[in-house]
Amino acid sequence: MDYLKNVEDNCIECGLCTKNCTFLEKYSINLKDFIKREDLAFSCFECNKCQSVCPKDLNGKYVSELLRKKNPKYKFIKITKDFYPYRNLARKNKYSKDLLYLGCNFPAFYPETSRKLVEIFSSKDFDFSIDCCRKPVASTGFDVTTSKSLEKQIRDKDIKRIVTACPNCYHFLKNKYMADVISIFQWLEEYDYINDINEPINIFFPCSDRYNREIFEVIKKHAPKWNDKFTSTNCCGAGGLASKCESKLANDMISSIKDDEIYTYCATCSMNFSKYNKVHHLISAFLGMDEEVNNNFFKNAVKGKFLS
Ligand code: SF4
Ligand code: SF4
């Protein structure tokens, strides 16, 4: 609970977080007010935008996480993700120094790009895995244990690096396992698979990488004319499970960008924004494929389960 005290002690009530967040604005609160509003725990999109404007470096996401722990919700998400039905732990090689960790949404929204990545990794005798990193479980407020199957893979295959296709997986798995976690962009750069994008592009930053932009460090070298155009949008609407109780806010976020061309590096952002825009996922774009987001989630998830 120290973080709540940190907000209580350090917030100077300047109002910048409220001005920059449609959730805080809706309830006319700042983060110091938020710490006392357990009833709003699940209304925060955990998008990190407040931290990027707060002079005291405070973040509503951490407030939300602590409030949710007091009264967890959505147990079905915990069950579905703990026993992820579309899990595919490809067990081809005895050893695999690098493991392509596709996550759960990326292979379901980008099946062809996923297949291509599996082929590339396979050509170097590296395995892949389709699984949930359990970040969504953390958003329910229930305790999250580390993945026993991932721990076993790391041990059995002597995996040194988990290579993530999803920014949420990257930030969530980091520093929790006995293997380094790197982004697919770093890996593709190391092996020289990136086709640079030299024209100007507008990037939508996924929530998990918005504030510290660790993954983006590699991306920006290969798309040097990038613009940060969509700063007024909190999130793609899917962050922090908040769309369940704040569906209007979530829909407003999705429709806040229309008739535009967006580059992003989160499959869920791609899916949501593709409703009104042309969206490019940077993994697919850098591979020269530029696959369009595929909305047959369940069909693709089942195919992913049997991908080899
Ligand atoms: S921006 Fe930071 S200091 Fe200002 S009101 Fe919000 S939490 Fe407090
Ligand atoms: S994390 Fe996002 S939704 Fe939550 S308070 Fe901060 S800006 Fe608002």
pLDDT tens-digit series, residues 116-137:
999 999 999 999 999 999 999 9
Q: Give the β-pairing of 278-281 and 261-264.
A: parallel
Per-residue pLDDT reduced to its tens digit, 76-90: 998 888 888 999 998
pTM of the model: 0.94
Report the residue among 32, 48, 61, 211 best suited for mutation to probe ligand 1: largest number of ligand atoms under 8 A from its CB: 32
Q: What is the mean pLDDT of the chain?
A: 95
> What is the token pair recorded at 97?
């120094």
Pick the residue whose CA is nearest to atom 4 on ligand 1.
14
Question: Per-residue confidence at 226, pLDDT binned at 50, 70, 90?
Answer: very high
Instruction: Return the higher-pLDDT residue of 306 and 14.
Output: 14
Ligand 2: which residue has its CA nearest to atom 5?
A: 60
Mean pLDDT calculated for residue range 35-58: 96
Alpha carbon of 2 to ligand 1 centroid (Å) = 17
pLDDT at 265: 98
Q: Report the separation in Å between the CA atom of 68 and the middle of ligand 1, taken as the mean of its atom positions.
A: 21
Q: How confident is the model at residue 149 (pLDDT cuts 50, 70, 90)?
A: confident
Helix, strand, coil in percent for the chain, rounding step 5: 45, 10, 40
Using DSSP's 3-state secondary structure scheme, residue 203 falls into strand
256 φ, ψ (degrees, to nearest 5): -75, -15
Average pLDDT of span 275-283? 97
Among protein residues, the one whose CA lies closest to atom 8 of ligand 2: 21
Angle at alpha carbon of residue 230, lines to 283 and 57, rounded to 5°: 95
Nearest to 63 by CA among 45, 43, 41, 39: 41
Complete edge-to-edge strand list for the sheet that includes strand 127-130: 88-89, 127-130, 98-103, 161-164, 180-183
User: Cβ(210)–Cβ(227) under 8 Å?
Assistant: no
CB 223 within 8 A of CB 281: no
CA dist., res. 212 & res. 165, Å (int): 18
Q: Is the predicted pLDDT of residue 93 greater than 90, yes or no?
A: no
